[in-house]
A and B are shown apart, each in its own frame.
Chain A
Amino acid sequence: MLVNRIIQVAFLGLIAAAWYWATDIRGVPRLLLPPMESVGASFGRLIESGAFWSALQVTLSTVAQAYLIAVLSGLLAGYLVSRSTFSVDVLEPVISGIFAIPLILFFPIFVLFLGIGVSSKIAFAAVYAFFPICLNTIAGLSQVDERYLRAARSMGASPFETFRHIQFPAARPVLVNGLRVSFLICFAAVLGGETLMSMDGLGRNIAQSAEAMAPANMYAWIIFVILTAFVLNMVVTFIEERTKEH
Chain B
Amino acid sequence: MVSVSHSAGASARGSAGLFSTRGARIKGIRLLVILGFVLFWEFAGRVLVDPAFLAPPTAVIQSLFGRIFADPAIVRAIWMTIIEVTIAYALAVIFGIAIGMLVGMTERGRKAFFPIIVMIWVIPNVTLLPLFMVVFGFGPVGKILYAFSGGIFPIMVNVIAGMRNVNQLYLRGATSMGASRMEVMRHVVFPNMVPSVFTGLRLGMIVTMLGVIASELFVSANGIGRYTRAFSEVYDPAPLFALIMTLAAISITLNEIVRTAERRFTRWKR
Interchain CA distance A78-B125 in the complex, whole Å: 28
> Interface segment, A35-43, A65-73, A91-99, A146-154?
A91-99
Q: How many residue pairs bridge A and B at CB < 8 Å?
A: 167
Interface code B10-27, partner A: CB below 8 Å = 1, 0 otherwise? 001100000000000010
> Interface segment, A47-55, A104-112, A156-164, A238-246?
A104-112
A108 touches B235 (CB 8 A): no
Chain B residues positioned under 8 Å from A181 (CB to CB): 1, 4
Does A215 lie at the interface of the complex (its beta carbon under 8 Å from any beta carbon of B)? yes
Name which residue of chain B comes closest to A93, CB basis. Answer: B9
Interchain CA distance A88-B3 in the complex, whole Å: 15
B126 touches A203 (CB 8 A): yes
B33 touches A102 (CB 8 A): no
A196 touches B127 (CB 8 A): no
B8 touches A112 (CB 8 A): no
Does B38 lie at the interface of the complex (its beta carbon under 8 Å from any beta carbon of A)? no
A174 touches B3 (CB 8 A): yes
- Shortest beta-carbon distance from B22 to chain A in Å: 8
Interface code B98-120, partner A: CB below 8 Å = 1, 0 otherwise? 00000000000001100110010
Q: Which of A104, A105, A207, A215 has the most CB of B within 10 A?
A: A105
Binding site of A, secondary structure by majority: helix, strand, loop or mixed? helix
Interface code A121-132, partner B: CB below 8 Å = 1, 0 otherwise? 000000000001
Does B29 lie at the interface of the complex (its beta carbon under 8 Å from any beta carbon of A)? yes
* Interchain CB contact (< 8 A) of A92 among B9, B124, B217: B9
Q: How many residues of B contact A (CB 8 A)?
A: 56
A225 touches B127 (CB 8 A): yes
Size class of the contact patch on chain A:
35 or more
A104 touches B9 (CB 8 A): no
The chain B residues found within 8 Å of chain A, CB to CB, are: 1, 3-9, 12-13, 26, 29-30, 33-34, 53-54, 111-112, 115-116, 119, 122-131, 133-135, 206, 209-210, 213-214, 217-218, 228-229, 231-232, 235, 237, 240-241, 244, 247-248, 251-252, 255
Besides A96-B5, A112-B237, A139-B3, 10 other A-B contacts (C-beta < 8 A):
A3-B111, A96-B7, A99-B4, A100-B251, A191-B124, A192-B124, A192-B129, A196-B214, A206-B127, A206-B131
